[in-house]
Structure formats: C-alpha cells, structure tokens
Chain A
Amino acid sequence: MSFHDGLAFAWGALRGHRLRTTLTVVGIAVGIGAVVALTALGEGARRYVVQEFAALGSNLLIVLPGKVETSGAAPFGGVLRDLTLEDFQAVERVTGVKMAAPLASGAETVRFGDLSRSVPVLGTTGEFAPLRRLHVAQGSFLPAREPHVGGFEIVLGFKVAKELFGSESPLGKTVRVGPYRFRVIGVLAPRGRGLGFDFDELALIPVRTAMRIFNRTSLFRILVECHDHRDMDTVRKRVEEVLFRRHRAQDVTVVSQDAVLEAFSSILRTLTWALSGIAAVSLLVAGIGIMNVMLVAVTERRREIGLLKAVGVTQGQVLVVFLMEALILAGLGGVLGLGLGTGSVWVFKGFYPNFPASPPSWAFAAALSVALGVGALFGLWPAARAARVDPVLALAGGGR
C-alpha cells in the first residue's frame, strides 16, 4: 500500500461522515487556535514592554531609596536615610555619568479658573526631558538650574493643557497647584502612555518646590544616564559606593534599566507559557474528541475491518489506515486552527493597532506538529483496537 493510497482510503472513510468529521476538526481547530492566539497576545505583551523600555534609552540606571533584595526581602535595617538633593548632586558627578535627574512625586489638583484636573505632579530638573526623551510642543522645559533653587514654573502634559486651556495658549498663564501659583512655561508634545506614567497627563515643576509643597524629605528616584552602555555595571557600582560613603549604609538600590526589563520580560514570558498551558487544555479535550470519534468508527466499521483482514490486509496496515484518519482530522484541525488563531489576533490588532501582537514564527510549525502529535497520541489506541479486531467475529451476522 502506498502512502498516497492509504491516505486516499482514510480520507474516503472520513468523507462518509461529514458532520462528525467537521465537528472533530473544529474541536482541534479551536484548541490550536486558542494556543496560537494566546501565545501571540502574551508574546505581544512582552514585546510591547521591551519596546517601551527601549524607547526610554538603554543606558539608564535608576536609584531608589531602600535596599530591595533581589529575593524580595524587607529593606535593609529599619531606618532609611533619605535620598537627598545632595545625594543627587554627588551622583551627577560620578565618572561615566552623562546626566542625571532627580524625581520627587505627588498628586495634586491643577486648576485654571473654574477648571481643574487631578494629575501626578513631578518635581525634577531640566535634565529630565532629554533623559526621558520628552519633547516640548510649546514654550520650553524646566530651566537647567541649580536644583536647590526651586521656582514656580510649571510644564504641563499635553492632555492637561488641552483640558484646562482648550485651544488657547497656556504659555505665561498662571495655574494653581493646591494653594500655590505656578506660571506655565511649556507644554509637552503628545507622547502617550509609557511605562509607569502617562506623560500626557502630568505636570512638571522644579524639584525643590515639589519637595517643599508635598512635604517630602526624600527623593522618589534619581534617574542616571551613562555615557556608555558597556560601563553600566562599573557606573552602577560607583554610584552605589558614593551613596554608601554618604549614608554609611547600603540603603539604596541601583538597578539598571536592563535588569528591570529582563524581569518584566521573564514575567511576561511565564505569563505566555501559562496562557498557552490553559489553551493546551482545550487541545487535550479535542484530542479526547478524536479518540472518541475513532473508537466509534472502529466499532461501526468492525465488518469492514473483518473484510479487510479476509482479503489479506495486515494488522499493521489496518493500524496505519486508522491512524491516518486520526492524523487527517488533527492536521486539518491544525491548519484551520492556525487560521482561526491568526484571524483572531488580526481582529484584535484591528482594535489595538499599537499592540505588537503576532504569533511567534515558531507557532506555525509548533501548532501543526502539536496537532499531529495529539492526533497520533489519541488515534493510536483506537487504531490498535482496529488492528486487533477478530475477523471471524466481525464478519459473522448479517448486514450489507
């Protein structure tokens, strides 16, 4: 029996039961489709995060108060020294540091006339804009100035400006943050949601002022950009050392953007696997569907099997033919499932065009081989039963 003849024979048998065949194929297709779609979405989420981080610049170190052990243990010691503006200035001077920006945070209501908008207000310096790749649409950013000086200038996010001022130019206008009055000197260009912040919905003021009005003694973060990506580790150690000398304790954490990115990436990869695992359950169900259909087929076609044996078809050939039927069901399901999966990802992308969801390239080969594997696994036992049918018993009795 040639492969082609066997396939044609198996296909003929399946065509005899169109509805049953279709339903089984759909079962497999749903399983495969779910795996493909969920893998694509998970992988897309990971890529999205990686992209966002990359947009922030790859030479970034982040200094945060408190010792965060990688194992997630509690902060070192009990008392935390504040991360001060002096610390910031010391970090700025570390060799290999291109620039740094301090960050003090609070949320406040920004008012103009009767309109108000509650947004995060960040205190920082002029370096923050180049560091976070922010562009100014109108006016200018916070002036580069000694951080201790303070001042009552404010830069508004794109949406904040739009909602408070409409089409009017906010430049030179006075807005209130809590009880304090600030002069608008700039509006950021639209940027959209980045990780952590929506740069369209915040306001930026000088760091010194922010610490005072929000009553903060410690900075929230210090962002550091290094000259050279290869020096990141050395620079990180130097920054740690400088702060250790100043605080006489290891009470700050310096992480590189890469480390954060890697952590996110691995979390999301795990998520992708988990999603695929859940989807794989539906494949298992579909596999049992194949087994069920094939067992029914073996029972129904006992007479046929008996006849085949009588005309000299070997046990092996009977096994192969029934296995081929299972594999055809699974293969068709796999192909259809791929279409279903990519189709639904496509629809999803119609709604969220920015989301880089696409099935990883290996998904195509994997989906097909998984489908065929499921077919073989769940088709084997019914096929073995077919091969063992006793021809004398099968041929006994009436019928066709």
Chain B
Amino acid sequence: MIRLENVTRVYRLGDAEVQALAGVSLTIAEGSFTALMGPSGSGKSTLLHILGLLDRPTDGRYFLQGQDVGDLPDAQRTLLRRHTIGFVFQFFHLLPRLSARGNVELPMLFAGVPSEERKERAMAALAAVGLTHRASHRPDQLSGGERQRVALARAVVMRPKLLLADEPTGNLDRVSAGEIMELITGLNRQGLTVVLVTHDPAIAAYAERVLRMADGQIVGEGKL
C-alpha cells in the first residue's frame, strides 16, 4: 500500500533548520493497522501529513499503491485525497454551520455526487457509527465522542483505501475513545488500511503493528 524511501522533511525558520523527519523508510501493507507512537515533536504528525498528501517530503520518495506520488501535481494529489484517503483529526474539524449529515456529505458534494445519492450514503455512514438519530444536529449539539464519530463517518464516506488518524481519541474520555477504536478496528477488518498516531498505549494496543518515533526517525517497531 505504502512505501517510503528515506523521506526527510526540513522546516526552514530563518537561518535555523528543523528536521521534522530525518530519513524515514517504511512499508505499510494493504489492510494493515499501524500505530505511530513517540514523544511530542518526534515527527508523527509530519509523517502522517506526508502520507496523506497534505505535505511534500523535502527529500526521498513516496509510493502509494505502487505509484510515485512525490512529484505529482497538486490537482492529482487532491484527487487521490478525495478518493483513496480519509482523515480523522484530534479536533474533529467539523463545519459548525452544517448538520452532522451535511458534514458527512461534504466530500461527496465537492466530488459531484448527486444530492439524492449523497443523502443516502451519508445516512448509511451515520448509521454505521450509530448516529442516525443525530443526523440533523449541528456539531455544537453533539458530545465530543459523537463529533468524532461524525468525523469518522465523513472520513470513510468516499470509501477510501487508507484511513489516517492523528490522535483521534486525544480529546475524548475513555468510553468514547473505546467506541471510536471499536469502529476503526471494525473498518480495518473490512479491509481499510489504518495508520493512527497516539500517545496512549491502550489505544496503540488496538493496532497490529506499532512504530516508535524519536527525533524524526523510526526507532523501534513491534507489538507492545
């Protein structure tokens, strides 16, 4: 699914250089469930952004589904994001003016899915996360756990191959976090490749593989 070859990411701040990623090589199999752990500032989010085509490596190569996506033009990277990658963020990033259903419909709206089909698929995705009865609620009328479930429904409504989650449980209580992880695990069992960043060993325990990062490098691997 994913192959990284010696990927680096350097931020230039005036004269100083920050090595957010200092040479990461990595293969992630289709259908696998990988957790990324490591201290703050170790480069986990940076790596996830590069995997999600939101950011470009300073150096090194990135193959997604066998295709070298390092130098693809922006337009094609956007289309890959639209159809093969789903994101879940720590802070949900729901649009406050839209209902739960409206938020889930968002990727389909811009992908040109007709409105009837949009509605059906959004309702199905909401049903899959157990929120049918909250479809018309706006985000500020939902609990944190419910918001993240809406975000998860939005992430998978385009039927992506890869789910990238950056501390999806970071803002949730233990019970809600458990619910989200059950849902993600279920999606993974249906064949979705998952890469998840977390600080919490209990969350990482859901993954079949755990990568440890420090100072922009992968320093260890294995199940806990």
Q: Is the CB of B97 within 8 A of A309?
A: no
A196 at the interface (CB under 8 A from B): no
Q: How far is the CA of A2 from the CA of B91 in the complex (A)?
A: 29
Q: Count residues on chain B whose CB falls below 8 Å from chain A CBs.
A: 34
Interface residues of A in 268-321 (CB under 8 A from B): 303-304, 306-315, 317
Residue of A nearest to B140 (CB): A400
Task: Say yes or no: B97 contacts A16, CB within 8 Å.
Answer: yes
Question: Contacts of A310 on B, CB cut-off 8 Å?
Answer: 52, 54, 81, 87, 93
**A9 contacts which chain B residues (CB < 8 A)?**
109
Complex Cα gap A5–B108 (Å): 11
The chain B residue sitting closest to A310, CB to CB, is B87
**A312-B55 in contact (CB<8A):** no
**Complex: chain B residue closest to A313, CB-CB:** B110
A392 contacts the other chain (Cβ, under 8 Å)? Answer: yes
Query: What is the CB-to-nearest-CB distance from A374 to chain B, in angstroms, rounded to a whole number?
Result: 26
For residue B111, CB closer than 8 A to chain A, the reply is yes
- A77: B residues at CB distance < 8 A: none
Does B58 sit at the interface, judged by CB under 8 A?
Answer: no
Asked whether any CB of chain B lies closer than 8 Å to the CB of A73, the reply is: no
Q: Give chain B nearest CB distance to A71 CB in angstroms.
A: 63
Cα A304 to Cα B97 in complex, Å, equals 11
Distance of A310 Cα from B89 Cα, bound (Å): 11
Interface 0/1 of B146-182, CB less than 8 Å to A? 0000000010001000000000000000000000000
Contact at A308–B78, with CB atoms within 8 Å?
no
8 Å CB contact of B154 from A12, A16, A311, A391 = A311
Known pairs A400-B92, A400-B93; A314 contacts B75 (CB<8 A): yes
A12/B97 in contact, CB under 8 A:
yes
With contacts A1-B112, A391-B54, A399-B91 taken as known, whether A311 is within 8 angstroms of B107 at the C-beta atoms is yes
Tell me, yes or no, whether B210 is within 8 Å of chain A by CB: no
Contact string against A for B residues 83-99, beta-carbon threshold 8 Å, 1 for contact and 0 otherwise:
10101011111111110
Q: Give Cα distance in the complex from A309 to B87, angstroms.
A: 11
Is B111 in contact with A312, judged by CB distance below 8 angstroms?
yes
Q: Which of B83, B85, B96, B111 contacts A400 (CB 8 A)?
A: B96
A398 to B92, CA, bound (A): 9
- Which residue of chain B has its CB nearest to the CB of A303? B93
Nearest residue, chain A, Cβ from B74: A315
Q: Which residue of A lies closest to B95 (CB)?
A: A304
Verify if B38 is at the interface (C-beta below 8 Å from A).
no
Roughly how many angstroms separate A1 CA and B98 CA in the complex, as a whole number? 17
Interface: B134 (CB within 8 A): no
Chain B residues with CB under 8 A of A397: 91
In the assembly, what is the distance between CA of A311 and CA of B80, in Å? Answer: 10
Answer yes or no: B82 CB below 8 A from chain A CBs. Answer: yes
- Closest B residue to A4 by CB, please name it: B115
Q: How large is the interface on A (under 10, 10 to 19, 20 to 34, 35 or more residues)?
A: 20 to 34
- A395 contacts partner chain B, Cβ-Cβ < 8 Å: yes
Contacts of A99 in B (CB 8 A): none
CB <8 Å contact, B78 and A313: yes
A2 touches B110 (CB 8 A): no
User: Which residues in A have their C-beta under 8 angstroms from that of B81?
Assistant: 309-312
Q: Using CB atoms, name the residue of chain A closest to B105.
A: A5
CA A69 – CA B141 in complex, angstroms?
81
A5–B74 Cα distance when bound, in Å, is 23
Within 8 A of A (CB), among B114-139: 115, 139
* Complex contact A398–B158 (CB within 8 A): no
Chain B residue nearest in CB terms to A307: B93
Check B106 against A311 for contact (C-beta < 8 Å).
Answer: yes
Cβ–Cβ < 8 Å partners of A312 in chain B: 78-79, 81-83, 85, 107, 110-111, 158
A13 in the interface (beta carbon within 8 A): yes
Whether A1 lies near B107 (C-beta < 8 A) is no
A93 and B67 CA atoms in complex are apart in Å by 101
CA distance A391 to B115 in the complex (A): 27
Given contacts A303-B93, A399-B91, contact A308 B112 (CB under 8 A): no
Give the CA-CA distance A396 to B111 in the complex, in Å.
Answer: 25
Distance between A322 CB and nearest chain B CB, rounded to angstroms: 13
User: Chain B's nearest CB lies how many Å from the CB of A274?
Assistant: 45
Once bound together, how far apart are the Cα atoms of A396 and B167, in whole Å? 12
A250 to chain B, nearest CB (A): 76
- Nearest 3 interchain pairs by C-beta: A312-B82, A311-B107, A312-B81
* Residues of chain B at the chain A interface (Cβ within 8 Å): 45, 49, 52, 54-55, 74-75, 78-79, 81-83, 85, 87, 89-98, 106-107, 109-112, 115, 139, 154, 158
12 cross-chain CB contacts under 8 A:
A13-B97, A16-B96, A308-B106, A308-B110, A310-B81, A310-B87, A311-B107, A312-B158, A313-B78, A314-B78, A314-B79, A400-B139
A residues whose Cβ falls under 8 Å from a Cβ of B: 1-2, 5, 9, 12-13, 15-16, 303-304, 306-315, 317, 391-392, 395-400
Apart from A312-B78, A312-B83, list 11 A-B contacts with CB within 8 A. Answer: A1-B111, A9-B109, A304-B95, A306-B93, A311-B82, A312-B81, A312-B85, A314-B79, A315-B78, A398-B91, A400-B92
